[in-house]
Structure 1
Amino acid sequence: MLRPFTEVVHGDHRNPSLTMARIDPTLQDTPPRRIYVYDRGSQIDLLKTLPGSYMWASPVPADILEDAGMIQRTASMSRVYNLDLLIWRKNSPGSSLVRSFADYLQKYAGELAGEWEE
């Protein structure tokens, strides 16, 4: 369905072990219309000004989408999950501060996930 539209891609998007074909074998690896952008901030500008453009991205906060006049959709065919890790020494000085930071990140991630599901 996206074939006639232009995909906006960050220039370092390639993960050699994860191609679009591995996400969904029916997808082409390279769409016919693609623009590589090396400045992440320029992606939003291109999406705002280029009719019919799209990009694959991790969730974007609702206020940024609203300011840009954009919408975000989930992709039902995607079965790729990301895992972020925070690793620290258990008994190192400042570990209670790191634990507090980790708790905050987990709470904030939950809030963002709630925005994503709306």
Structure 2
Amino acid sequence: MASLIRSESDGEILTVYFTEAKILDELVIRQCQDELIRMLEKTQEQNVILDFRFVKFLSSSALGMLIRVQKRCKEFKIALKLCNIDKEIEKVFKITGLNKVLDICATNEEAAASFKKKGFFFRK
């Protein structure tokens, strides 16, 4: 099965992009979660951005996956930010209160800058 995420690193921040526009199916959600957790286990970066620029639809099960990924980030002492979330998906985050649980930024650049502001950079 083809990867549902791709990533790039600048040496301090790992940015992960979802390649699917619709994260609805349970198998897709499980694969995304498994790929993300494997990536978190291997990464040297302690700052991770999940970039949703290609995602247009997200199921409620996918929201649960994000909570599980955030929990793993805490276990690995990784700071996690989300960005480029579609306006309709952002409404769901607000209705469910996830916007208060997950650290959401408007853009990738804003997310990267917020790591520096809050002193999240652990390595130089």
TM range (shorter): 0.3 to 0.5
Q: Which of 1 and 2 has greater Rg?
A: 1
**TM-score for the superposition, normalised by structure 2:** 0.34
Query: By percentage of residues, which structure has more strand?
Result: 2
Query: By percentage of residues, which structure has more helix?
Result: 2
